[in-house]
């Protein structure tokens, strides 16, 4: 199933984005894929925010159906799947970093190192590009892709 017929509330681009990833978990999943090197179900389950397995399962299916991630069977272990960002998913890097910058600025107990928001604002595009390069460097590659 590639298309779900969910009626859209509007065609405002902000609304489109929020309908796609504007829930409590989708961008946590994208953060873990894009930034934290978590590509498998059990890795994503291990997020400190404690997502429930049924919710994670549904979100992965949904993100794949929206073309934001793709599910690839691990050729070395048929039990495992790897979830990777598509181009559409990689384009969420800016959203994730912008949210992180905002959170780092306003959470008094933030885990982010001091100066994070200043660094980010000093050159957003360079930091986004750098983060995408780091993602490409660590994402797993398989010779033959499936599913």
The answer to whether 32 and 44 have CB atoms below 8 angstroms apart is yes
Task: Report CA dihedral (54, 60, 65, 69) to the nearest 10 degrees.
Answer: 180
Q: Nearer to DNA by C-beta: 55 or 134?
A: 55
Residue 11 lies near DNA (rule: CB under 7 A): no
Q: Under a CB-based contact definition with an 8 Å cutoff, are residues 71 and 146 in contact?
A: no
For 29-65, b where at least 16 C-beta lie within 10 A, e where not — what string? bbbbbbbeebbebeebeebeeebeeeebeebbebbbe
Does residue 53 touch DNA according to CB under 7 A? yes
Stretch that binds DNA, among 20-28, 30-38, 112-120, 135-143 (CB under 7 A): 20-28
Interface residues toward a second copy, by CB under 8 A: 8-20, 22-24, 27-28, 31, 48-50, 88, 91-92, 94-96, 98-107, 109-112, 116, 121, 124-125
Residue 86 as a binder of DNA (CB under 7 A): the answer is no
User: Which stretches of the chain bind DNA, using CB under 7 A?
Assistant: 23-25, 40-42, 50-55, 57-58, 60-61, 71, 77-81
């Amino acid at each position: 199933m590639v298309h779900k017929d969910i009626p859209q509330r509007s065609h405002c681009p902000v609304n489109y984005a929020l309908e796609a990833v504007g829930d409590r978990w989708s961008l946590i999943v994208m953060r873990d894929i894009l930034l934290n090197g978590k590509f498998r179900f059990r890795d994503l389950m291990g997020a400190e925010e404690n997502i429930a397995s049924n919710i994670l399962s549904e979100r992965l299916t949904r993100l794949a159906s929206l073309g934001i991630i793709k599910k690839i069977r691990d050729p070395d272990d048929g039990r495992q799947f790897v979830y990777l960002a598509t181009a559409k998913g990689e384009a969420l890097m800016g959203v994730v970093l912008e949210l992180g910058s905002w959170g780092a600025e306003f959470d008094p107990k933030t885990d982010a190192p001091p100066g994070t928001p200043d660094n980010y604002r000093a050159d957003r595009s360079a930091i986004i590009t750098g983060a995408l390069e780091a993602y490409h460097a660590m994402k797993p590659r398989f010779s033959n892709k499936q599913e």
